[in-house]
Amino acid sequence: MSDIGSEDSASTTAPVSAPTRQIKACERCHRLKTKCRPGASGSAIPCQRCEEARRSCERHPTPPPRARPSQLLKEHEKQIEELQRSIAKLQGRQEALESRLGSVPGNIDEHRLGSPERDTVNLQDGSPEADTLNSQSGSPQYFNTTDLEDPIASDVIRSHRLLPKDPEEGRSRKRRREEDGVPTEPSIELQQIAFDIFSKRCALTVNFLDFTSPSYTRQNVQLQSTVLYWSIIAVGSKEAAELAPVFDYAVRVMAKGVRMTLGGASPSLYDFMGCVLAMLWLSPVRPPGHIVAMAYELDLHNSALELSTKGPDEDRCMRYRLWCQLVLFDLFYSFASARPRLISETEVYVDAERLLTLPNARFQDFKASAQLEILLAVRGWHSQIRQRGASLLSDEVASTIFLDSHITYVDLWLEKWLPWAERLPNDPSVFSGKSSIKTAYWLARMFLAFPFLRGVRQANDITPGGRVALGKAFEAATQLLEVALEHFQPPVVNYVSEVTNVCSALAASFLLKVVHLLPGQFNATATIQLVERGVALFDNISGRYYAKLLGRMVTNVKAGIVEPIDWATELGLTDFSHWDLDGQWGEGLLDNFMNFTQ
């Protein structure tokens, strides 16, 4: 029985599983999806098929074991928790930045700057005003940083550094306005007055604003762009004492909008117009780096190609006008400072004549076309001077021939454009087309001669070619200042752009330096008297800087010295209106002209 029981127990046991196959598929058999057989030696590698085909045989990598669903679920839950913690951290940082910057990053047109519902302040926990501040309304929050009103110099945002906390952050906004005099939004009537002043005095200077269009109204411009609207209001109110509160508020809101573009906001085409107006009227003449970057972001550099391929329409014409305006400024600054152009070589060559063929070409288009034509010509002449180098500068005869031939071209340019300018209405109270053409004419002749004088710091540095160029540049600078005295009498001088102011001031400083270096070659008395008349011309808010600087230079020339000026203390930069905090002009254009380093 015991034997029978043992047999039954043996028969009921589970069968032993077959041994697992130890031979894994090789790489070639796995790719061909065939059965892998051991080779002649009995080993898996090399396999039989690879031996017969005389191919290399490698083992196919074993895939990693699959994780269990429960393990995958735990890993995913852990990743979700980490993501939630990161989101909460980023939200906290975003709220802190919004409270400090007073704005939400994004498209400028989607967030109306200066609106009460968007103004928030981040107060310390436990502050008595923290519960009630959100219900209060008023003007935007601003910071005590350098160059507050200058929309170009925004180092804090450009370097992505957080602003320091205000020691008086706990004060309510209403109390801060009352104690610190923070401007509130001006009335609609005052805004309309400033808008009308800009339309009458300044709109003729730029070609991308059609102030004769029925759609050009204060309400429509305000809807198009906050930056454009408050730039117009700031320019129109900057010279009127009665509109000083309007200017103070407008320039802050405008600068805040420009800084949003530095912080990553996407500008619209109308926002870019406002930035260009700020560059021309509300900021010292400096490299247009951020403005050029915005133009490339908006694809304005391809506007000429779009006109050729797609044909003109209102939007493409406006984009091309904006690009031409920026090219003009970049060329002027490059000539005046001898710094490289920011616009690339292949894109700086715009077709000046194309502006005249645009549908409904405006007066400003003719003026911009003439200026582009002559400045692009001067640019080509400078390239020729650099290529010929010392062989031209050291040869008096060759220099004379070179200068005379190109001055003849400038004379022909004047004969072409001056009759056109004289046929237009020339209101003596605005920057007319005739004065614009005459200014560009003498400016081109002065810029043509300047490369021959580069590096001159004393009389012995003047080359034979430089002596020829010096006389022609002196004549051009004298006539340029005479044009300013004839055509820029108030109120015109109060509303011309900073580029126009710089042209006259550079001519005056050049004349003073020449009189100091070569007192016996030119009529020093008449030249100094001419410059003193120019100093009196700049007796307005925007020109006060030039008046003080040129006045100090006249004093030094009369005393027989030209010494470095302590720009911040000697000139009293705190009196310069919207340039109050911009005291870094020791490396400016006028300083370059004092040493002929342009």
Query: Does residue 355 share a domain with residue 344?
Result: no
Helix (H, G, I), strand (E, B) or coil at 298: coil
- Positive or negative, the CA dihedral 505, 508, 513, 514 is positive
Out of 349, 370, 395, pick the residue that ends a domain: 349
- 434/558 same-domain check: yes
Res. 19 pLDDT band, cuts 50 70 90: very low
Dist CA 453 CA 457 (whole Å): 9
CA quadruple 449, 451, 454, 459: dihedral sign: negative
Asked if residue 320 is part of any domain, the answer here is yes
Same domain flag for 265 and 300: no
Residue 55 resides in a domain: no
Query: Are 149 and 228 found together in one domain?
Result: yes
Contacts of 264 by beta carbon, 8 Å cutoff, 6+ apart: 105
Q: Check whether 347 has a pLDDT greater than 70.
A: no
- Pair (245, 338) in one structural domain: no
Tens digit of each residue's pLDDT (9 = 90 or more) over 408-428? 999 999 999 998 888 776 677
In a domain, 31, yes or no: no
Q: Does some domain include residue 458?
A: yes
Residues 6 or more apart whose Cβ sits within 8 Å of residue 512: 527, 528, 531, 550, 553, 554, 557
Rounded Cα gap, residues 44 and 290, in angstroms = 68
Within a domain: residue 54?
Answer: no
Q: What is the pLDDT of residue 211?
A: 85
589 versus 244: which is more confidently predicted? 244
Residues 332 and 465 in one domain: no
Same-domain check for residues 333 and 439: no
**For the whole model, what pTM was predicted?**
0.66
Both 390 and 467 in one domain: the answer is: yes
Residue 380 pLDDT: 87
Domain boundary among 283, 302, 320: 283
Residues 482 and 521 in one domain: yes
Domains held by the chain: number:
3
Range of the structural domain that residue 257 is part of: 105-123+136-167+182-283
pLDDT band for position 183 (50/70/90)? low
My answer on whether 376 and 477 are in the same domain is: yes
Domain co-membership, 141 together with 244? yes
Tell me the per-residue pLDDT of 464-479, one tens digit each, with 9 for 90 and over: 888 889 999 999 999 9
Q: Is residue 9 scored above 60 in pLDDT? A: no
Residue 582 has pLDDT above 80, yes or no: no
Same-domain pairing of 446 and 486: yes
